Structure 1
Amino acid sequence: MLESSALSAGAPEVLVGGAALSAPVRWVHVSDSPGVARLLEGGELLLTTASAWPAEPAELRALVGEFVRAGLVGVVIELGAHYRYVPAVVVEAASAAGLALIALHREIKFVSVTEEVHRRIIDDQTAALRARDDVRTLFTSLALRGAPADYIVERLAHTLRAPVVLESLAHEVIVAGLADADPAVLRDWQERSRRLGDDGDDGRSIVPVEARGIRWATLVALAGPGHPAGRRAVLEQGATALALGRLADPDGDDWARLGRRRLMDALLGGRYGSADEVAALLGAARIDLPGTALLGLAIDGAAAEDVEAAADVVGGRALCGSPRGADERAAGWMPVLVAVPSATAFAGAAADRFHARLRGDGPPPRVSVGPRVEGAAAEDAVPRVLDSLEQALDLAEVGDLREGAVHWVVRHPLVRFVSSLRGDHRLLEHGESLLAPVLAAAPARRRDLLAALSAIVAHPGNRTAAAAAAHVSRSVFYQRLDLAERLLGVDLDDGEVVAALHLALVVHRAHRSPGLALSRGRSASRADRYDDRDERGRR
């Protein structure tokens, strides 16, 4: 108001200012009456000439006290009509009470001040109503469209231009929209959130997500700029949209699991800025790198809730990503990050307990386990953790893994070698040229020969075990091996030949893997083109 043209025309002098000048003005009242306090409701600024004010110092001090109790935010006294200067007792009393006091040295039209200020107040209120309507429309639309919780939180963060966290009743981060803020704001979130409790002096706003007497979670907006609709009002609209979504789909994905899956997908997709950012995000998911051992897994044939329960059996915690590399046989390999205490061994009996809990009453799942990474500094641990995940996925999608078993990347060095050199054209040329006669055979014969070759390289020197692995009789198996030797022009009793064939078969499987071809942008190999031709033939 001091900067308004109507008030600045009176040459205002601030007699009591400081923090008092920050008080919001709800309305402007004009009166010279000493009994005006009983007509006020709080938040007003009083314009007066003080012509009817008492003369006694004690009465003036009492009058200022009445103003303060009535909730007045400030007094503007126009000098000349009654006072040539503001009495010292008024200045002292206003200063002691923190009441803004301003003297005008020139006569002005009070009506000009009230018109200008009231117009601005009404304009602000209109803008706030319009902003609230826009926010209500946005989040109602999101709720009606069934927008997922993570997207609603992202829109809240974008609208408020501040980080917004959807946390569980245990103060665990479910989803966080950071709005370009440093992910370090999530560090030690659970502990800090418990300690701070309700809305605090740090600028946070907190709103429960609840309906029909059920509280599912809490929305927390960290400090940020103001919003015309009011930060809390925006957060309440977001909470309503989340509650409506939960009511509409009570059996849908658990929010906490959704947040963990979103985090895993972001990590595997490279959507993070630094190792410290990854460490902060993992910490928000209750996985602290120091004192923790982490393993990347790929699991086929188990649901996320079963994986999390299996990790709990071995004293650990699991983050499950979205399945990828899907085919007609299964939903696809699901990337999983398992964290266990450093003193816990994820092998032997522990791995057996994990796998047994995964299985439950259904068919036995397949599990690929990447190298173990001991928690350390973020810049050292994070790249190795992500590499463990990628190696587990590589083995899952490239290796010929049997069902109902746990397979360890460290026991498949050839698969690791091929995965690391996947883009090398010489490796692809080796596999294509060596297997070309087999790949060019009729579809049914090609499948039989590839199965026989895969069995013989998996069981070198033991053709009985190889025939069993190929699920055919020994006589049929020998016939297929003889045919393969004639087509390829090799001797399958030669160890070097078997090693070369093993490499070629791994390369062939690697470039036929749909999940890896999509995730790493590999071009289709000749084997893929053969598969396309076979599919057209079947049609």
Structure 2
Amino acid sequence: MSDRQDFASDQTDRPIRATALLTVAEVLAEPVVQAGAPEVLVGGTALDAEVRWAHVSDSAGVARLLDGGELLLSTGAGWPEEADEQRAFVRGLRRAGIAGIVLELGVSHARVPDAVADECAETGLALIVLTSEVKFVAVTEAVHRALISAQTDALSERQRLHELFTALSLQGAPADVVVAETARALGSPVVLQNLAHEVIAVEPLRVPVDEVLARLADDGESVPVQARGVRWGTLSALQGPAHPAGRLTVLEQGATALAFGCLADGGDAEWSILAQSGLIDDLLGARFASPADIAARLAAGGFVFDGHHCHGIVAHGAVSASELAYRARQVGCAVVAARVDSHDVALLSVPASVPFTDAMISRIVGPDRTVFVGPSAEDVLGLLASLRIARDLAAGDHPGAGPRVRRVEDRPLERLVASLRDDHRLHEHSERMLAPLVEHDRERRGDLVDVLAALVAHPGNRSAAAAASHLSRSVFYQRLTLIAELLGADLDDGETLAALHLALTARRSAAHG
């Protein structure tokens, strides 16, 4: 047998419990343990148990002297001999919270007692036998050395994280940057949500966003984002690889940086604006791997398609996007709103039971505003098309043109261009017809394209077209003469005007992409 000591006190001095711990499986991988030719009798998830210390004892009363997390190394010399007592012995060790049992076979036990093996299997307690002799002191030294190394690594990593997130706080880094750094540190997707469950920022790390959001409830760990007794949201991460400092420690560091940022910004109002503007920007820019990603982000904020009328709208006027969003919610609509290119842009989800009338739209956008409404959409791609069409309609608007609520359904040319948006022949037609005017305006900083747009927007009323162009009638007519010469076209011909109107509409649609 190996030389070993079994102290009368049957206790082992140990360090204060640290976050950085080994698992039973990691202890088994140590070369000194492998030298004992270990055989795992009870393993599986039991090998994931955390080991915070190694304890050597052959005493039958060792359980009362343990604090939990110990890996018991023993020859079994003092273990009870009766099966019932052996089972009680194992149950006592389990209640003490030990990580597992390593039994060296030899003089005391040529094989593991059946009662011990059965009880370990039933209670899920790791049981390993060493078939060759090892020095237990060498095992404890290796375990303790690894634990101290892990603790040192944890302290170093905590310091690095503290410096990283402190720097982000001092720099006033936006929420999405903090979330991205947290995800990179953890090696798993991270999501920041406000109290309304809107997604403020997400770093999916190549995992589909809809999958990340769906898995959070069952496969996530979360910490609150709060300061001074006020909670603003939740920072969550999917399960991932172990981190030297502890995964929750990383999340808490990220949440602290976010809380400081929220305090500096005056609360979570900016977060809601960030969430909604980011969603609209991603939608308009087609910055999503799958429509399901956008659908999941919309659904997190209560925006659904089933049983609802969903539209993209654009509103001219001075009322803020946040005011528009507030009014939409007052009439029972789910809404995502943001300021884009000096206009309020919004996505509306209206219950099918609520009539989507002009009066309701006016109530949402506020009085004395012109609003452009895209067609109804049934999914994310349809919603993107609806919003793009509404923006096209708004871009072609001129003061005094049309009613205050303008729906794309009332604009057949807009509908046609929207349906042919991806047809290269439409864009070739636009470029071919307008090329002389575009080149003239680019070289001379002219306004011929705008003048032509005013003309087709006010057919048969050139005085109104001149007023819309902010030109005198004489200057306006001079511009028309130059346009006709450059195009080699008769601007009094209805077919020519229709072709030019189509080209202008297609050009505007392409500009809003």
Amino acid at match of 1:427: S
Tell me the distance in 2 between the aligned counterparts of 1:482 and 1:51. Answer: 111
Tell me the distance in 1 between the aligned counterparts of 2:77 and 2:153. Answer: 38
Q: Which residue of 2 aligns with 1:368?
A: 372
Tell me the distance in 2 between the aligned counterparts of 1:44 and 1:395. Answer: 71
Tell me the distance in 2 between the aligned counterparts of 1:453 and 1:91. Answer: 90
Q: For residues 399 and 169 of structure 1, do their structure 2 counterparts lie closer, same or farther at Cα, with a shift above 3 Å needed?
A: closer
Equivalent residues of 2:199, 2:301 under 8 A apart: yes
Deviations 1:205-258 (A, max 9, x none): 121111111111122222333322222111111110111001111157532332
Q: For residues 186 and 462 of structure 1, do their structure 2 counterparts lie closer, same or farther at Cα, with a shift above 3 Å needed?
A: same
List aligned pairs for 1:94-173, cutoff 5 A.
94-173=120-199
Equivalent of residue 392 in structure 2, options 394, 417, 423? 394
Q: Which residue of 2 aligns with 1:299?
A: 315
* Matched position secondary structure for 1:165: strand
List aligned pairs for 1:463-482, cutoff 5 A.
477=473
Tell me the distance in 1 between the aligned counterparts of 2:231 and 2:62. Answer: 47
Pair 1:312 & 2:317 matched: no
Equivalent of residue 33 in structure 2, options 1, 4, 7? 7
Q: Which residue of 2 aligns with 1:286?
A: 302
Equivalent residues of 1:333, 1:393 under 8 A apart: no
Alpha-carbon offset, residue 61 of structure 1: 5.2
Give the total of aligned pairs. 477
Tell me the distance in 2 between the aligned counterparts of 1:25 and 1:450. Answer: 75
Pair 1:49 & 2:75 matched: yes
Amino acid at match of 1:2: L
Q: Which residue of 1 aligns with 2:203?
A: 177
Amino acid at match of 1:264: I
Q: For residues 298 and 401 of structure 1, do their structure 2 counterparts lie closer, same or farther at Cα, with a shift above 3 Å needed?
A: farther
Tell me the distance in 1 between the aligned counterparts of 2:120 and 2:451. Answer: 97
Moved more, 10-19 or 312-321: 10-19
List aligned pairs for 1:111-260, cutoff 5 A.
111-185=137-211, 202-250=218-266, 253-260=269-276
Q: For residues 171 and 384 of structure 1, do their structure 2 counterparts lie closer, same or farther at Cα, with a shift above 3 Å needed?
A: closer
Equivalent residues of 1:150, 1:259 under 8 A apart: no
Alpha-carbon offset, residue 310 of structure 1: 3.1
Tell me the distance in 1 between the aligned counterparts of 2:457 and 2:74. Answer: 98
* Matched position secondary structure for 1:371: coil
Q: For residues 21 and 504 of structure 1, do their structure 2 counterparts lie closer, same or farther at Cα, with a shift above 3 Å needed?
A: closer
Alpha-carbon offset, residue 42 of structure 1: 1.4
Q: Which residue of 2 aligns with 1:531?
A: none
Q: TM-score, normalised by structure 1?
A: 0.74
Query: Where does the alignment leave 5 or more consecutive residues of structure 2 unmatched?
Result: 1-26
Query: Where does the alignment leave 5 or more consecutive residues of structure 1 unmatched?
Result: 197-201, 325-331, 376-380, 521-539
Equivalent residues of 2:315, 2:370 under 8 A apart: yes
Amino acid at match of 2:244: P
Alpha-carbon offset, residue 97 of structure 1: 4.5
Q: For residues 206 and 482 of structure 1, do their structure 2 counterparts lie closer, same or farther at Cα, with a shift above 3 Å needed?
A: closer
Tell me the distance in 1 between the aligned counterparts of 2:334 and 2:199. Answer: 15
* Matched position secondary structure for 1:383: helix
Alpha-carbon offset, residue 82 of structure 1: 3.7
Q: For residues 417 and 64 of structure 1, do their structure 2 counterparts lie closer, same or farther at Cα, with a shift above 3 Å needed?
A: closer
Equivalent residues of 1:32, 1:50 under 8 A apart: yes
Moved more, 423-432 or 172-181: 423-432
Q: TM-score, normalised by structure 2?
A: 0.77
Tell me the distance in 1 between the aligned counterparts of 2:437 and 2:123. Answer: 92
Equivalent residues of 2:196, 2:301 under 8 A apart: no
Identity of aligned residues (%): 42
Amino acid at match of 1:122: I
